[in-house]
Structure 1
């Protein structure tokens, strides 16, 4: 196998290949634990945080609004219902969110049909995508996407949705897990310590002494292995231990306060939640003093909204047709207090003309009318503008404010 190449040929390495090559260099010690994104969800705290955020994003619909009024839009329908023939819109939103939270970035290919119309959306695995700056296009970004057979397609940025929750250069996303390497290692080692403690029937170790004779390393290893097989484990708990007079067993005592400290420690859980900006009450670390409505609103504004904005900003950048139209998530489920209050607030917005009849029906779970009447905004006749009130007062002061029952102005002779 040739390691070094000569001549003008060039080879582009993915990040995974580069890391593997670096690890093969002489003197490379590496780290005690390597956390790839797929392995990280084996940690229960990481899984909880990723599942919480990705599920919440997936549960919200994406709307297309024009002048703050919701419009029917086929791209929004793709994201919400059927982006392709493989999975639903909720699954697509879950995938892109979870990948961006774990890997730092996620990719979605835009499939276009006739007249540049978007007809499908497909998630791309991070290992499939290599980002380059193409010299032929004045160093603009291009995306080289490889399939399972190794064939590479070059896709222009307009046909790739690239979601990055944290970035230092605007080109590549950075995984939050990089800041959690030591915390995850500490948590994993602590859990392994507890697992071994209980696996060995709460005996963390002991000394088996042979009173007479000297044993070789092979003999010691054999006795140790046979002792472990015969006496360790839950199945051997509280059974009679039989040894002859040539051996003496001395258990090593452990401070149970250390075990209590390890078992009760929530430091790593708090750190993982802090990195992803998850409130403590969402992780079950404390009881919130806020009401359910306040807690949901706090979670929406301080945590979830920042992730939603990243997604909609990319959609608006790549798929919005004009500056008046924009994609946005419908976050009303997190603003709903209870059914009675939600219904009351919705009807008040209809009465004041803030939302249309169809918007109100949608919020109340009813099928919209989808006609001219449903898109209209209603307002009471008792309301008027300040300038009209001033005009009415001026007319009244001049004696022209009298009117008959038929609505016409009266005269002084009447």
Structure 2
């Protein structure tokens, strides 16, 4: 199988025009930094937010179901089931494919995969295409075309029925908007703070100062002094050393320390800002300043219901639209299984199952199945018989 990319065409920092830059996935900020998906992911809070969503969706079971009256059953005999649940192409597992596609949407606003159909009209493989190689066009007929830049410089056109297209919120209904571009000032500020910290520590974990002397110095002596100072007192290895000055030299710091500038507090605020962009609870990306056992469990539930829901529905509806013919959509549908994320601790699960069994909307066999326990023949009938038996008289 031909792999569709080996390089990215997104990072072209020489493009000065902001509008043109955004077309290539590049966003400039007030700090002067150029923000791309790659630079955004260098910020730990951004990387953790993207990974929290992409990894979770990649590991969730994704099943293809067949409607059966008012009930449903897994369509394990359908070719699409294996593509979605096991292996979408020769080089990737289902986890790797869905994690990659989800991360592309989160960082770039769009994700594309070429659909390979067999002679019977079934999907036999899905191959991801790097978003930086794709140009989306609306044809006079109203349908969508995707021009893909190949390694040999040629452009290969794929039609709407040949591409699985996932997208974030859109303004034109055709392509999604990149959250990195929309929130580039927030990402740029976090990136600038990170660079500031790195450069400050590289210079000895102190802001700049001045060396003063009442004597006149030649250009040669100034150069020798600068070289000697940098070699002895800059860099983290030299932090904290005591400087020995001679010939009337004095050192005066002309700035604030990292603590005075509240740099650490600004870094923590950036974590909250980035988490807000992706609507990820801060506790999910390692910010436990306001976390405890009780609200961390609740935040896990919020993560499923408020954060993941949008992306899960995006996947399910895109599969129905792009991978199932119109007639098949009436019988088949894809759905993620999120019960495992909502189970909670053992006591909470036991109370949940007990209340469902007592109320009559859950069978003991179903509870055992949710816990991945082996089947016990007749367990439902035994429970029903126990419920139907009269209470002992006193």
TM-score (norm 2): 0.77
Shift of 1:153: 2.3
Q: Is 1:129 the equivalent of 2:130?
A: no
* CA contact 2:164–2:318 (8 Å) conserved in 1: yes
Deviation sequence 1:333-389 (CA, Å, 0-9, x none): 1221234654675685699576896x76653325899xxx9xx99995899xxxxxx
Q: How does 1:62-73 map to 2 (within 5 A)?
A: 62-65=62-65, 66=67, 67=70, 69-72=72-75, 73=78
Q: Per the alignment, do residues 164 and 237 of structure 1 end up closer, same or farther by CA in structure 2, a change over 3 Å counting? A: closer
Q: Distance in 2 between matches of 1:118 and 1:238?
A: 64
| C-alpha RMSD over aligned residues | 3.9
Q: Per the alignment, do residues 101 and 49 of structure 1 end up closer, same or farther by CA in structure 2, a change over 3 Å counting? A: same
Give SS of 1:116's match: coil
Q: Distance in 1 between matches of 2:375 and 2:135?
A: 44
Shift of 1:234: 3.6
* CA contact 1:23–1:30 (8 Å) conserved in 2: no
Shift of 1:183: 2.1
Q: How does 1:316-335 map to 2 (within 5 A)?
A: 316-320=320-324, 321-335=328-342
* CA contact 1:132–1:141 (8 Å) conserved in 2: yes
Q: Which of the pair has more CA radius of gyration?
A: 1
Aligned to 2:23: none
Q: Is 1:91 the equivalent of 2:129?
A: no
Aligned to 2:143: 140
Aligned to 1:390: none
Ranked by relative contact order (alpha carbons within 8 Å, sequence separation 6 or more), the top structure is: 2
Q: Per the alignment, do residues 230 and 132 of structure 1 end up closer, same or farther by CA in structure 2, a change over 3 Å counting? A: same
Give SS of 1:224's match: helix
Q: Per the alignment, do residues 292 and 206 of structure 1 end up closer, same or farther by CA in structure 2, a change over 3 Å counting? A: closer
Q: Per the alignment, do residues 252 and 287 of structure 1 end up closer, same or farther by CA in structure 2, a change over 3 Å counting? A: same
Give SS of 2:120's match: helix
Shift of 1:260: 6.2
Q: Distance in 2 between matches of 1:110 and 1:337?
A: 38
Aligned to 1:185: 188
Aligned to 2:56: 56
Deviation sequence 1:127-173 (CA, Å, 0-9, x none): 221111223xx142111223222233221212211111221111111
Aligned to 1:46: 46
TM-score (norm 1): 0.74
Q: Distance in 1 between matches of 2:224 and 2:171?
A: 55
Q: Is 1:336 the equivalent of 2:340?
A: no
**Where do 5+ consecutive residues of structure 1 fail to align?**
1-13, 384-414
- Indicate which of 298, 306, 309 corresponds to 1:305: 309
Deviation sequence 1:55-103 (CA, Å, 0-9, x none): 1111111122325523224323212211111010001110011010000
* CA contact 1:351–1:379 (8 Å) conserved in 2: no
Give SS of 1:154's match: strand
Aligned to 2:211: 208
Give SS of 1:114's match: coil
Say which is worse superposed, 69-78 or 297-306, in terms of deviation.
69-78
Aligned to 1:412: none
Q: Distance in 1 between matches of 2:58 and 2:302?
A: 19
Q: Per the alignment, do residues 380 and 310 of structure 1 end up closer, same or farther by CA in structure 2, a change over 3 Å counting? A: same
Q: Distance in 2 between matches of 1:291 and 1:251?
A: 48
